[in-house]
Amino acid sequence: MERPFESSLLRTIGVLVSAALLMFVISSPRAHADQIPAGWEASNMKPVGYTAMDGRGGAFKMAIRKINGRWYLYTGHLWHRGWSIVDVTDPANPEYVKFVPWPQDNTWTIQMELHDNLMVTALQRAQANGWGGDSSKPFDEGVVLWDISDPVNPKQISHWKTGSTGVHRLGYPGGMYVNLAANMPGFRGQILVFLDVSDPKNPKEAGRWWEYGQKEDEPAPPGPISFHGPAIIDGNTAYLGYSNEVAILDISDIAHPKTISELKMGPPFGGGIPVHDVMFIPDRKLLYAHSESTTGDNANVAPCSGPLFLSGLVDVKDPAKPRLISLFPLPVPLAGESYKDFCDKGGRFGPHNTNLEYHLPDVEKPGNLIYATYFNAGLRVFNIENPRVPTEAGWFVPPTPTQRQGPIPINTLVNQTEDVLVDTRGNIYITDKQWGVFVLRYTGKGQPRATAAD
């Protein structure tokens, strides 16, 4: 049977790709532009640019802004302590601008958010167990607020601390409040904390919410409970991917958030973090909810060894009664690969991140296309024109890494695609544990109209 998208399948191999890349470099106006690594595979997708991040592979979370006619991509990092700035005004020739270092080792600097001239970056004790962190050594934690009115020279404004191991993820849609997935004294796992940043020099806690059983004086739950984050804010409503459930809150009183509803997802869904985060699609009153698969980093825990991960749509037309209405199809490798499915490829397989930065004016707003990173299956694009029957519309899988940038995955060296961001010009950016940043274009059905000029 002919596979979907067979006619539009793109694949790089051998001399043809090398020749094409050589012509690209010769014709490029910037001689220093990094070549697109050969060996990628795609359907209804093509790479248009690449940056090796000045040798700092393993970029993670991303945000973007256009200012004074130029486009700047900001990233966190897994294997380096600090954040990077890349000029992507010409997406075919991303220009690495600067690395903003953080001085304390043993600290994760993987997450960052921005809006207007305020950037907020997360600090957390680096994870041990093969990830490079050491739980016995000093670390920094909390969030750092930066003035980015000069987009390539961030200036630190303040540093707010949790008093515990720090902040894993954060959301900042602008305005007074940043929401944090924070480890706080007296609590098990991460909880939701709202931080008032109306005075960036003196940020202060404005409110918090947690699941019963997280507070240390409450009976311990039967299994781990933790808020992964971020909270997605729509007026006075907050949508959360909270460990094993989708939670919907009334935040009209930010100091005392109230539960509207909770939709339990784990069990039956697993994947390490049954509900990693949610993306709200306002005009459809839908949530794209998904897990994070955490198996496959080492030989002791095989990929796909737990329950099926979640990747599906939740109807929230009635916030008090959310309901799962569909599941996304499982990605399938090309015929002829050495593995029969992505569980056998090595490393992690399953959903991880989506295009959540749509609160930014320069990021594509949710529509009929869902962009989701799937670790060793790269970036997948799903069409939800019919939300009850989502279909895979395209995909891009980076090549097998040629050198190791970081210790994970410990054994098999494979691509592990992490985050995705789509700008209003139609450029798609993805990060990977072992690569730099790829700039892609979707070429399939339902391609959204660009709302910004190049």
**Distance between CA atoms of 72 and 430, rounded to whole angstroms?**
15
**Distance between CA atoms of 182 and 143, rounded to whole angstroms?**
10
Q: Rg (Cα) of the chain, in Å, rounded?
A: 21
**Average pLDDT, stretch 152-156?**
98
Is the model's pLDDT at 340 over the cut of 60?
Answer: yes
Q: What is the pLDDT confidence band of residue 21, given thresholds at 50, 70 and 90? A: very low
- Listing from the earlier edge strand, what are the strands of the sheet with 323-327? 273-281, 286-292, 311-315, 323-327
pLDDT the model gives residue 317: 98
Cβ distance 160 to 196 under 8 Å?
Answer: no
pLDDT the model gives residue 301: 82
Is the model's pLDDT at 20 over the cut of 90?
Answer: no
369 part of a folded domain = yes
Residue whose token pair is 């949508």: 239
Alpha carbon 46 to its chain's center: 20
pLDDT the model gives residue 321: 98
**Distance between CA atoms of 146 and 201, rounded to whole angstroms?**
10
Q: Which residue has the higher pLDDT, 270 or 280?
A: 280
**Average pLDDT, stretch 365-373?**
97
Q: What are phi and psi of 380, to 5 degrees?
A: -115, 140
Residue whose token pair is 């992505």: 342
454 part of a folded domain = no
**Average pLDDT, stretch 389-401?**
98
352 part of a folded domain = yes
SS3 85: strand
Is the model's pLDDT at 3 over the cut of 80?
Answer: no
**Distance between CA atoms of 52 and 33, rounded to whole angstroms?**
9
Share of the chain above pLDDT 70, in %: 92
Residue whose token pair is 């950037």: 119
447 part of a folded domain = no
Transcribe 2-60 into DSSP letters: PPTTGGGEEE--HHHHHHHHHHHHHH-S-TTPPPPPS--EEESEEEEEEE-GGG---EE
What global pTM score does this model have? 0.92
Q: Which residue has the higher pLDDT, 296 or 2?
A: 296
Q: What is the pLDDT confidence band of residue 350, given thresholds at 50, 70 and 90? A: very high
Structure tokens at 139: 């670390």
**Average pLDDT, rounded, for the chain:** 92
Alpha carbon 376 to its chain's center: 15
Which CATH number does the domain housing residue 194 bear? 2.130.10.10
294 part of a folded domain = yes
**Average pLDDT, stretch 223-239?**
95
Is the model's pLDDT at 432 over the cut of 50?
Answer: yes
SS3 84: strand
Cβ distance 169 to 230 under 8 Å?
Answer: yes
pLDDT the model gives residue 2: 39
**Distance between CA atoms of 232 and 238, rounded to whole angstroms?**
6
pLDDT the model gives residue 273: 87
**Distance between CA atoms of 423 and 3, rounded to whole angstroms?**
30
b/e map 92-119, b = 16+ CB within 10 Å: bbbbbbbbbebeeebbbbbbbbbbeebb
244 part of a folded domain = yes
pLDDT the model gives residue 345: 95
Q: Could you give the maximum distance between any two Cα atoms of the chain, in Å?
A: 66
pLDDT the model gives residue 418: 98
Is the model's pLDDT at 140 over the cut of 90?
Answer: yes
176 part of a folded domain = yes
1 part of a folded domain = no
Is the model's pLDDT at 24 over the cut of 60?
Answer: no
**Average pLDDT, stretch 282-294?**
95
Q: What are phi and psi of 55, to 5 degrees?
A: 85, 5
Structural domain of residue 92, as residue ranges? 6-442
**Average pLDDT, stretch 221-227?**
90
**Average pLDDT, stretch 164-177?**
98
Residues 62-111 have pLDDT tens digits of 999 999 999 999 999 999 999 999 999 999 999 999 999 999 999 999 99
What's 151's DSSP letter?
A: T
Strand partners, 124: 108, 166
- Listing from the earlier edge strand, what are the strands of the sheet with 245-250? 232-234, 237-242, 245-250, 258-264
Q: Does the bond joining 267 to the residue before it have cis omega, within 30 degrees of 0?
A: yes
Q: Which residue has the higher pLDDT, 28 or 200?
A: 200
Residues 6+ apart with CB under 8 A from 31: 25
pLDDT the model gives residue 11: 47
Cα dihedral sign, 43-48-52-57: negative
When divided into structural domains, the chain yields a total of 1
Is the model's pLDDT at 192 over the cut of 80?
Answer: yes
Is the model's pLDDT at 438 over the cut of 70?
Answer: yes
pLDDT the model gives residue 32: 62
Residues 26-67 have pLDDT tens digits of 333 444 679 999 999 999 999 999 999 999 999 999 999 999
